[in-house]
Amino acid sequence: MDRFAGKVAVVTGSTRGIGAGVAKRLAAEGAQVVVTGRTREAGEATVADIEDAGGEAVFVRADMRDPDDIEALFDATVEQYGRLDVLVNNAGVETNTGIEEATMDDWAFVVETDFRSFWLCGKAAAERMDTGAIVNTSSNHAFLTMPKLFPYNAVKAGINGMTRAMALDLGPRIRVNTVNPGWVAIERTMGDMDPDYRAQIESIHPVGRIGRPADVAAAVAFLASDEAGFVTGTSLLVDGGRTAVMQDDMLPDYRARRGQLGDAVPDANASGEASGDGGSAPAEDGE
């Protein structure tokens, strides 16, 4: 596949997890990819994976809480590749805090990383794009949520609104959409998960499993590609049907059903570390 041949993409929060999966997918489809995050070692490892697979990428260190770093990131992108075609706003952190426990520091940590940076990156990208696409990573927490995830859940709902605003203000030159993942197998939230609890989580997804970074990356690649040329200002849930559920105790065990079907149910061709979009301690920027 060469949907992004000759195109340049910046993926924020791409040193690990979903972001790394997106960077690898875009590179596999021909994009020259700028990997970025706060941890150089992890970022360079992602670049090495891309290069080992025959793709092209470079790492630029940037802290999404620092407006100067953001400007420098996009300057470096244009200096390196001479253009910019795709931005994937993916950097994200969260705190295990509710409305009453959250502090001003918690608020600043999440809002500046997960929300303000999306605006600043979108603005910087638009100034350097002729035409292109922006994909913002939100979450199924934009629609349904759980306790002790404030302000993360509020910010994720805000991203959907920001996407609509961007789509109106930047169209038709730049299309802007949101991808909303649910439980995804990344280490940030599932690395230490009890196997029985993981089985329970899998059983309440209508597809009978937890997602993988490649599931989200495939959706991002579609939204960023010319195939989605008539799609802008929308939010795409990639959550295995989880948000379609109203009441868990009414569900069959979808994991068991999946096992009965065996190879009849296709799987994404993806590797992914184990964890999900549902609650963890503050972490390195990256969904």
Q: What is the pLDDT along the chain (287 residues), one digit of tens a residue?
A: 799 999 999 999 999 999 999 999 999 999 999 999 999 999 999 999 999 999 999 999 999 999 999 999 999 999 999 999 999 999 999 999 999 999 999 999 999 999 999 999 999 999 999 999 999 999 999 999 999 999 999 999 999 999 999 999 999 999 999 999 999 988 766 777 888 888 988 999 999 999 999 999 999 999 999 999 999 999 999 999 999 998 888 788 888 888 888 878 777 654 444 333 433 333 444 55
How confident is the model at residue 251, as a pLDDT? Answer: 81
**Partners of 59 in the beta sheet?**
35
* Options 81, 152, 197, 254, the catalytic residue: 152
Q: Which tokens in the block code for residue 37?
A: 């995050």
Which residues 6+ apart lie within 8 Å of 4 measured at CB?
Answer: 26, 29, 30, 31, 85, 86, 221, 224, 225
Task: Kindly report the pTM of this predicted structure.
Answer: 0.90
Confirm whether 81 is a catalytic residue: no
Cα gap 138→149, rounded to integer Å: 14
Give the 3-state secondary structure percentages of the chain, helix then strand then coil, rounded to 5. 45, 15, 40
Alpha-carbon distances of 257 from 202, 203, 241, 253, rounded to whole Å: 11, 9, 15, 7
Cα gap 34→143, rounded to integer Å: 30
* SS3 call for 226: helix
Q: Which tokens in the block code for residue 198?
A: 């993981």
Q: Which fold has domain 8-264?
A: Rossmann fold (3.40.50)
How confident is the model at residue 151, as a pLDDT? Answer: 98
Q: Which tokens in the block code for residue 106?
A: 């918690």
55, 58, 63, 69 alpha-carbon torsion, rounded to 10°: -130
Residues comprising the chain, all counted: 287
